[in-house]
Structure 1
Amino acid sequence: MARRTETARWLRRHVGYPLEAIPLLTIHTLFRLLPLDVASRLGGWLGRTIGPRLAASRKARRNLERALPELTPERRESILVGMWDNLGRVFAEYPHLDEIWRRTEVVGADIVRGLAAAKTPALFFSAHIGNWELNLMGATRNGLPVTAVYRRPNNPAASRMIDRSRSVIGSKLVPKGRDGAKEVLATLRNRGAVCMLVDQKMNDGIPVPFFGRDAMTAPAIAQLAYRYDCAVVPAVVERVEGTRFRLTISPPLELGGTGDKEADVRSVMSHINGMIEDWVRARPEQWLWLHRRWPD
């Protein structure tokens, strides 16, 4: 059994991943050669044409039914199609991040510059809305180096492709896991800034309401904020139209504290989940409904 498992892993890595990478890299190269607007429109068309037919859409439809039961099935289906359009555009826009930044309106840039000048340790949080890569650029392009935590794709070729595209952002990218956690702690100890996308399920997280139902939520941002006396800064990207975006950076949250560590962490995470819910309700087509956010 162990030998069969090892053989399957070897085939996956040396045969499966390269075969997966060929079409992925081909499409990525095409998007890089096309003008930004053309690439984004093509990516959106591919997303909304193919995405709703994929098995992953079953999970998204279930999430929409749970989160937005008051909507008609037709409206939920239009949100699903819009989500795939946005996701296809995000993929197509990876080779054009520099140009996209020049088309982004930034609200609250003075907040970032103030944190950079004061050398205040900061935790930026956001969600998979709009083109979420612009969250990092909002910090780095306003004088604040940032360490960002991300999940590295299983396919090494896909991982290298995305890393090359992200190189223009100027942030330090660290993968989830023990090594990434060490980098985050070192950054905060040195009064630096960290950016986290906090809208994904964490199996060993804490249950916190999200769209009226408990969702397993990573409490790390609240725990780190209290431990290192960090500013906790909301940031959200909206696709305004086509390849034009708005990045809104809000003032740091008022954390407060009762002395009950567990209750304080839960309170902060409830507030954060509430903010993300408001963002999603405002632009439901732009959130990534594919995550397994709630327990089955």
Structure 2
Amino acid sequence: MRHWTENAGIRVLIWLLHLIPYRWRVPFGGWLFSRLVAPVAGYRRRIRANLDLVVPDLDKAEKARLVRDVPRNIGRTVTELYSPDDFLAVARRTEISGPGLAALEQAQADGRPAILVSGHFGNYDAVRAGLLHRGHRIGGLYRPMNNRLFNAHYVATISRIGTPLFDRGRRGLGQMMRFLRGGGTLAILIDQRMGNGAPLRFFGHTAWTALSAAELALKYDAALIPCYAIRRPDGMTFDVVLEAPLPHSDAETMTQALNDSLEAQVRAHMDQWFWLHKRWKMPESAHKQAARTKEQTP
């Protein structure tokens, strides 16, 4: 019943938003998330806690702005993703630049796989949408929603931006690996805390980060390319940047380079990263390991 209620409420909200023209719908979605959803859900408190942790010397006025503007970007992003036809029209006009674009084109010409890596920054799906429009073969990896009723609608919506899509389940991961072996390009986000990840650095603090993107690049000899969709000051359009591919070494070194790349982009556009994630929280598995180590220490 809870899932049914959640699904119905979200679907009604999306339907109501679509009564508004896109040029007003996106700003209104940002306002709604910033002013109503974020305070009620406790997101402002979480954003402030993350900022206090990793940038404690940040000016108070700037911190207050970020607590307000980070949810605004998230709301805009969610509204765009649930407006796939209008969003695709924007993506078709999006400029794509950076040395990674030529590297991606060369990899696809050679039949070599590639992995595009980004974070919850700007509107990350503008990268996939823009490249798909230009004829690139891009697959996306996604995490299924806990609400199975809403997940069906979510997958149908993001599929309108482009396919193939692979869920993080066993079947989806198997399909994804076959896609890579066949020379496909995979788009993946790596900036959420992973309990089985490696304790790498992000903003000078330990952030448990999945090594999977780098491990796949090494296994399939894939080009590993950091990429970002940076929201322009108008709030509606983007600059898509594909950075130079990372040299192959080992999974931890390559993943740390991905963290460093994302951090540089976030520092340049602090309001465009989703600061509400529990990025620096130690996973339960690490707590247990630390406790066992302490018990074994004489």
Q: Assess same fold via TM > 0.5.
A: yes
Amino acid at match of 2:219: R
Contact 2:108/2:183 (8 A) holds in 1: no
1:121-155 deviation per Cα after TM superposition (whole angstroms, max 9, x unaligned)? 11110111111111211332222222211111112
Count of aligned pairs: 275
SS in structure 1 at match of 2:206: strand
Contact 1:52/1:80 (8 A) holds in 2: no
Contact 2:92/2:133 (8 A) holds in 1: no
Once the 2 structures are TM-superposed, how far is the Cα of residue 274 of structure 1 from its aligned partner?
0.3
Change (3 A) 1:88 1:106: same
Change (3 A) 1:157 1:104: farther
Amino acid at match of 2:65: S
How far apart are the structure 2 equivalents of 1:101 and 1:32? 19
Amino acid at match of 1:232: L
SS in structure 2 at match of 1:33: coil
For 2:285, the equivalent position in structure 1 comes to none
For 1:29, the equivalent position in structure 2 comes to 15
For 1:248, the equivalent position in structure 2 comes to 241
Question: 1:133-144 to 2 correspondence within 5 Å?
Answer: 133-144=125-136
How far apart are the structure 2 equivalents of 1:79 and 1:283? 10
Contact 1:113/1:143 (8 A) holds in 2: no
Change (3 A) 1:139 1:214: same
Question: 1:175-254 to 2 correspondence within 5 Å?
Answer: 175-240=167-232, 241-254=234-247
How far apart are the structure 2 equivalents of 1:251 and 1:170? 24
Contact 1:148/1:195 (8 A) holds in 2: yes
Find 1:83's aligned residue among 65, 70, 81: 70
For 2:288, the equivalent position in structure 1 comes to none
How far apart are the structure 2 equivalents of 1:98 and 1:131? 12
- In the alignment, does 2:30 pair up with 1:38? no
Question: 1:160-171 to 2 correspondence within 5 Å?
Answer: 160-171=152-163
SS in structure 1 at match of 2:225: strand
Question: 1:57-72 to 2 correspondence within 5 Å?
Answer: 57-72=44-59
Once the 2 structures are TM-superposed, how far is the Cα of residue 103 of structure 1 from its aligned partner?
4.2
Please say which of residues 106-115 and 141-150 is displaced more in the overlay: 106-115
How far apart are the structure 2 equivalents of 1:150 and 1:223? 18
The percentage of counterpart residues that share the same residue type is 31
Once the 2 structures are TM-superposed, how far is the Cα of residue 68 of structure 1 from its aligned partner?
1.3
Once the 2 structures are TM-superposed, how far is the Cα of residue 214 of structure 1 from its aligned partner?
1.1
Contact 1:122/1:194 (8 A) holds in 2: yes
Question: 1:91-110 to 2 correspondence within 5 Å?
Answer: 91-94=78-81, 95=83, 96-108=86-98, 109-110=101-102
Change (3 A) 1:102 1:189: closer
SS in structure 1 at match of 2:160: coil
Once the 2 structures are TM-superposed, how far is the Cα of residue 29 of structure 1 from its aligned partner?
1.3
How far apart are the structure 1 equivalents of 2:197 and 2:95? 34
Contact 2:91/2:126 (8 A) holds in 1: yes
SS in structure 2 at match of 1:37: helix
How far apart are the structure 1 equivalents of 2:65 and 2:159? 34
Once the 2 structures are TM-superposed, how far is the Cα of residue 161 of structure 1 from its aligned partner?
2.5
Amino acid at match of 2:237: R
Once the 2 structures are TM-superposed, how far is the Cα of residue 183 of structure 1 from its aligned partner?
1.8
1:15-59 deviation per Cα after TM superposition (whole angstroms, max 9, x unaligned)? 111111222111211233322111011101101211134323322
For 1:47, the equivalent position in structure 2 comes to 33
1:255-284 deviation per Cα after TM superposition (whole angstroms, max 9, x unaligned)? 2x3xxxxxx221111111000101111111
Structure 2: segments with no counterpart, 5+ residues? 283-298
1:184-224 deviation per Cα after TM superposition (whole angstroms, max 9, x unaligned)? 21112112111110111101110101000111000011111
Amino acid at match of 1:184: M
Structure 1: segments with no counterpart, 5+ residues? 1-14, 258-263
